[in-house]
Amino acid sequence: MIAVQTPKSRPLTLAARTASDLMTGRVVSIEQDAPLHQAVATLVDRGFSAAPVIDAAGRPVGVLSMSDVLVHDRNTIAHSRPVPEYYLRSDLAGRVGETADRFQVEIADRTPVRDLMTPVIFSVRPDTPARQVVEEMLQLRVHRLFVIDADGVLVGVVSMSDVLRQLLN
């Protein structure tokens, strides 16, 4: 057995002092009246597991997570409309000759986001001490806290990734 000596690791310390030091600005949000299919596209295209839901004034009113979407999908039963038996194959041909078996019609879920979001926002102020931010995330068992200014406007988000990134700096 060969013993390999490695340099002693330095302790991890959180260099950030406040929530504003930890947070990511320019938060991608979803409007509460947006249809579900649009919200899902936003989450998937950006690689997010959740996003804040805002009202017309830009104030957060909830959070839409992929878990919310999965629960909604599991509880929603969708049946396609059968083609009436009295249609002939020639009736299904389009004007340019495309037949019905060469494409599929997708029925997009137009349920508004406000109907399936979690109507709770866990938030902190920008001047909240970084230690308190981490403690709240652990206590609440959440992966992110939203940063809200004195007017109630969303200014950032602190995710577990943001905290870990600060530990490595």
Strands 123-124 and 50-54, bridge-based pairing: unpaired
Helix (H) or strand (E) holding 96: none
In whole angstroms, what is the distance from residue 29 CA to residue 52 CA? 5
The average pLDDT across 91-110 equals 57
CATH of the domain spanning 19-168, picked from 3.10.20.600, 3.10.580.10, 3.90.550.10, 3.30.2010.30: 3.10.580.10
In whole angstroms, what is the distance from residue 50 CA to residue 33 CA? 16
Q: How does pLDDT run across 7-66, given as a tens digit for each residue?
A: 667 777 777 899 999 999 888 999 999 999 999 999 999 999 999 999 988 889 999 999
List CB contacts of 35: < 8 A, sequence separation 6 or more: 108, 109, 110, 111, 112, 113
Domain extent listing, the chain: 19-168
Backbone angles phi, psi at 70, to 5 degrees: -65, -40
Q: What does the DSSP 8-state code read for residue 160? A: H
pTM summary value: 0.70
pLDDT at 87: 55
- If you write DSSP's letter for every residue of 124-165 in order, what string do you get? E-TTSBHHHHHHHHHHHT-SEEEEE-TTS-EEEEEEHHHHHH
Determine the Cα angle at 27 with ends 20 and 146, to 5°: 55
The encoded tokens of residue 165 equal 């990134």
Q: Is the pLDDT of residue 97 over 50?
A: no
Residues making up the chain, counted from first to last: 169
pLDDT at 96: 47
pLDDT at 102: 58
